[in-house]
Structure 1
Amino acid sequence: MTERQECVESPFARTRVQRTIAGTVAFSLLIAAAIGTRSPAPQFPPIDRIGMEVDLNRAAARELSLIPGVGPVLAERIIRDRSLRGDFQSIDDLARVHGIGPKTLETLRQNSFIRPPPAAPRIATSSE
């Protein structure tokens, strides 16, 4: 005769599994809440919001990239052109930089300036 064995589950085993599941769910919710409340990386506001102007002949790439419409790549192009061809005499000179068109020139007019180069010192001559 075949003997049947019944599997009797202990009530303690069931509650241990339930506690493990509940703990895992609670831990997952805490992690999700922590990730969801993390603040994003700070963003620099565009210059038109902070009311500052940039000297196009003196500014570093980081300063230039704060101008609306000028990102890091265009800022590097401006600096490269400035170092190869010399200081800009007017904002219109920036049209020679690849990637700067009429719209960007207009934005640059509103958010930047060009300081004239310092006057060369006068050397006294004998005829003076």
Structure 2
Amino acid sequence: MWVQLRCGLEPRTLAALAVVLVAAAVFAGMRFWSARPEGVRAPDSVSQAGQVAVPQADADPAAGGSGAPEPSPGPPPAVGGTAGGRIVVDVSGKVRRPGIHRLPSGARVTDALEAAGGARPGVDLDGLNRARVLVDGEQILVGAPPGAGGAGGAGGGGAGTTATGPATGPVSLSGATADQLETLPGVGPVLAQHIVDYRTQHGGFRSVDELHEVTGIGDRRFADLQPLVRP
């Protein structure tokens, strides 16, 4: 009434002004309440209980186990072979593809001959036990003179296997071992190894004249060796 009388306001205008003042007071109170500071809760620490627990199998009362599952046994390793159940053998001598061949574990001598392309025509394989099981790292000499490769040809699992050739005669350049080549005049360990390396790279000797291409063999040494060797 005092404001109405003092300012000369009409009742309707005075009521509108009162509503505006009340609304402003309510709005100011809401802003003050929303802007008040609030406490922040620290995050909970991660405990081991939150990790996924792996259920353990029930203990076998008869076995007296502790309840933990036993690891399943893996596949047994290949006997005498490399990883994956394979073996590596060296097939040399009178075969079409001499060299290193990888075969399945449990392969036999006949499998090694097949991997090497088979024996060359005219090679006698009667003294070769083609049914013998091979071992990893074995050498098979095909068409070598008697005694080359040790006792492996009898099927006893030796270091080498030999298909024997003629009992007498010149030394075979394509089948003789390094030790047998050293029995030739003027041939030592180094020269014998050069001969072996040459026949490995070229698949054997096709003629005695190829000795000229071996490192360390000149005309004089070739003349000494020519009557004592054969391809």
Higher strand share: 2
Q: So what's the TM-score if we normalise by structure 1?
A: 0.47
Normalization by structure 2: what TM-score? Answer: 0.27
Point out which structure has higher relative CO (alpha carbons under 8 A, 6+ apart): 1
Q: Kindly indicate which of the two structures has a greater share of residues assigned to helix.
A: 1
